[in-house]
Structure 1
């Protein structure tokens, strides 16, 4: 009886410690166990969100108007300018694969963000110099037909310095922000689900300011003033991020995360001739009481061949200390997670291709239309992208505060709907966006072909730029409110805990690879259609057939959606052991009862 009382007291004390302290592999800035009340959650996010906000203002302020700068200031043709924009944006979203790996394995998320933000700031300083220093300006005359070589070198060097800084900055900052919420604490886990929604909300507010205020300064004041503003703003937020150091929770780097995956593959191949036991409880796993860090994953029936890596042979004593011969069920399941991410990543690339149109061809489409809203106000073409930002700013709070609570009651799912279902709905809306874009462009081309007589001769009828609002709105809701947030959650949750910065890099690489694929698709379409004498993407937008290109994207999207739904229907989410239950880490539903 006394022993039972002692055990209950011990258990109560443990629960009390878990409520006051954040246990596991997280530490505070002094390397101690963090206090739950004084670190992490939203108090830490107040220092993390502003630096992401400033970086996104810089990015959207540059990327949304970059094609205009390349064509009007540096005098590149539409085809070359479009490819250069896609290459740069692609680099900013592929470099995070390297930065995320270094942050998870060796440097740590906080240090990686700090170092990368300084590299980013250096790129902004160089960009400002290329606009303000007379010897580095694009031209020393009022009218010129080509920018100076020295300007091109410094300009592109500064752009790719920014891309290099983004490589470590973006994946580690977002995973570092999400790490401020404890997965094993119910209330903090719910807050983490909202974190991704509000992260995208801040991103869209930054997009709105970047594509309106910054673009307005670029077009009607000067690019030099705009770059100087962005540089100062970024510098101030880097300082603020450093000031928040005592409030953060830090995850220690855990070494190369790909080594355990390789160990599972090698061990499974070595035991390829063995038969898996019908009872998966016979597979090898370290008891949670003996496990120094990390969470235990539940066994799943997919990819059964890898289970052979956890089969205990007769020479158990020799195998136990050799991870190349015997691995745990958790390591096996982590390997399965990575292998299952690949097809979802591949089918998500079309999202990046569609988003690429918003900062390239959509902008040139707007530039060829009537930009006058009144006799005194004219919209900069790149500012139309602000419509894509406004729709998530409105829809994300509605989704998080109204729709999700209702869906939780209906489905019993803490997220409201599953992650992949949210992404699938987003892809469906992207198909609609491409269809609307094709119809609007068809209408615009018909008006261009119809010449209206004026007193001074003839002029082309121009369509109001406001006709682009529907395609930008649908793109904003489908891409930002649904698909992008879904991808963020998916690549954060559905990878091993030790690879979360890499997971965020994989999410960014979806967008980056999408931009590269967009450039590749433009090259193929230009090559094939150019043989007939009228390329779909010619040097001049009025002689192009962008409507047919948008219809092509809509068809590709539809085929991709069918494949995505096929994979999503058969997908098994990650499940973790928490206090005697196996919890679906994506849906957060109790799926089965297991032994602790």
Structure 2
């Protein structure tokens, strides 16, 4: 602690900038942007249904697309930061984009001319569709908002870690950074959503605007203290170069001699290994590939790559099957989150006589369960495991537990929905009995299981990728997780659309459908995917087994 205090008091000691003096500025930006984003994203489904007359399933689809976009844009932000602008410029740019988008969304809630006429008596047949101008302003705001939040989500964490040389201090920063994200999400999904549902949509979205603006100002105020790293180039560009170079030399014969392959003069010469041999041609030297000035550097970057760059790409290829299983692990969760909000909308959300839980706040149960079990796992379960087995649980074992818990969550969801539909249909058959809605608290078990599953499989994925990826691709590990989540949301959107086309399970009014069958379908998909994961994990061999560590990951990227 004394070391941290000294670094706060003397941030320029040994370095021009950086250190703990930057912590309040970066964490303040994390809190503000997280609060702003959750303030409108958590309640987007309800807003579309109640204020824009969008039917329930279409609103859930829009929500999935928005969540997918905010999960894919971190990759875009990371590539731009690494290759062109640096972290500070990217965060400033995307925070401004997020602010503009949030302003557009707030305007739709404030100006009546930007919203359609409310439904007459809540009947769908008397609802007026929004005009193209109203849709344009709304979807422009949603697109800009999700783009801006996605572009800053992981770049802020990267920039914060760059302020420290000490790995221990980096770990402390990461813990507080992602705890701040959880805290902001919890407040946004409860306080702001409550204001939107019970006081004013304009006020709730206006507070999101204020939080985003405050986050941007706090971040900019810390500029004089930040350590600004220069762009070093994106590893994604190297990956593309290897593939292009291998294709261009597809007719070359491979050589068994190490000297025939390119290694920088500072690296001991070694031939590429025999796995995925067709990629080895990318590092095979040919006439004109090396500069003639005696520097030994590459003259044609798109015709020749180093052996290490080739091996880095092979690492990605080896881990792709495991990574693909994570897509189908996250897809049921993406579908479940949007449909659970629709369930809550049709259930009794009262706590006592006066307090009613907003439907959009129901997912905070998942956040709380994940955060609580992250602490429990780190401080108790893994220690118990180590005492019993004399070794740490592997990342693959952690991910496997997450698979099992998610399958259980889908099964519990199906059982709860089946019970809810029975209550609805029983009332429809016997109108003499008073209508009795199922309590929304019945959703707690399924949401808790999803949250606990995330506490296992997301940190497990972080540990696996960071352990297995070479140092040059460590930032890619984070991008792989973000890419998984983004693809899962879009795949979930496609699956829901397919279910609507070929079945009658998801009508506009879920009380007339069979949402329980959708959950049973996701349970079957989860079981099959778990089998696929087991096959992949059994055939996978750790590349860095001698460096395998018990990664103390107390955070999750989602």
TM-score band, normalised by shorter chain? 0.7 to 0.9
> Of 384, 402, 414, which aligns to 1:426?
402
Distance (Å, rounded) in 1 between the aligned partners of 2:114 and 2:354: 34
Q: Deviations over 1:343-367 (max 9, x none)?
A: 3332211233223234411011112
1:104–1:500 Cα contact (<8 Å) kept: no
> Of 18, 34, 38, which aligns to 1:39?
18
Residues 523 and 312 of structure 1: CA distance in aligned 2, closer, same or farther (over 3 Å):
closer
Residues 373 and 297 of structure 1: CA distance in aligned 2, closer, same or farther (over 3 Å):
farther
Q: CA deviation at 1:286?
A: 3.5
Q: Matches of residues 168-179 of structure 1 in structure 2 within 5 Å?
A: 168-179=151-162
SS at match of 1:348: helix
Q: CA deviation at 1:131?
A: 1.7
1:73–1:147 Cα contact (<8 Å) kept: no
Deviates more, 1:331-340 or 1:251-260: 251-260
SS at match of 2:362: helix
Q: CA deviation at 1:212?
A: 1.2
Q: Matches of residues 531-570 of structure 1 in structure 2 within 5 Å?
A: 535-570=504-539
Q: Structure 1 length normalisation: TM-score? A: 0.78
1:197–1:400 Cα contact (<8 Å) kept: no
**Root-mean-square deviation (Å):** 3.9
Residues 411 and 45 of structure 1: CA distance in aligned 2, closer, same or farther (over 3 Å):
farther
Query: Does structure 1 residue 231 correspond to structure 2 residue 219?
Result: no
Distance (Å, rounded) in 2 between the aligned partners of 1:198 and 1:160: 29
Distance (Å, rounded) in 2 between the aligned partners of 1:284 and 1:342: 26
Query: Does structure 1 residue 321 correspond to structure 2 residue 297?
Result: yes
Deviates more, 1:157-166 or 1:171-180: 171-180
Q: Deviations over 1:227-275 (max 9, x none)?
A: 1111112221222222333554443212354443344345556385224
Which residue of the partner structure matches residue 420 of structure 2?
444
Which residue of the partner structure matches residue 14 of structure 1?
none
Distance (Å, rounded) in 2 between the aligned partners of 1:505 and 1:127: 28
SS at match of 2:356: coil
Q: CA deviation at 1:180?
A: 4.4
Distance (Å, rounded) in 2 between the aligned partners of 1:180 and 1:341: 31
Residues 326 and 286 of structure 1: CA distance in aligned 2, closer, same or farther (over 3 Å):
same
Q: CA deviation at 1:193?
A: 5.6
Deviates more, 1:384-393 or 1:195-204: 195-204
2:403–2:530 Cα contact (<8 Å) kept: yes
- Note the residue ranges of structure 1 that are not aligned, 5 or more in a row: 1-19, 22-28, 530-534, 576-581, 590-596
Q: Deviations over 1:351-388 (max 9, x none)?
A: 33223234411011112122222122222222221111
> Of 465, 470, 489, which aligns to 1:515?
489
Q: CA deviation at 1:435?
A: 0.7
Residues 97 and 49 of structure 1: CA distance in aligned 2, closer, same or farther (over 3 Å):
same
> Of 584, 587, 591, which aligns to 2:547?
584
Q: Structure 2 length normalisation: TM-score? A: 0.82
Which residue of the partner structure matches residue 468 of structure 1?
443
Distance (Å, rounded) in 2 between the aligned partners of 1:547 and 1:72: 25
Query: Does structure 1 residue 114 correspond to structure 2 residue 88?
Result: no
2:424–2:437 Cα contact (<8 Å) kept: yes
Query: Does structure 1 residue 158 correspond to structure 2 residue 121?
Result: no
Query: Does structure 1 residue 202 correspond to structure 2 residue 180?
Result: yes
1:104–1:498 Cα contact (<8 Å) kept: no
Give aligned pairs, total.
532
Distance (Å, rounded) in 1 between the aligned partners of 2:287 and 2:118: 80
Residues 312 and 123 of structure 1: CA distance in aligned 2, closer, same or farther (over 3 Å):
closer
> Of 297, 317, 321, which aligns to 1:343?
321
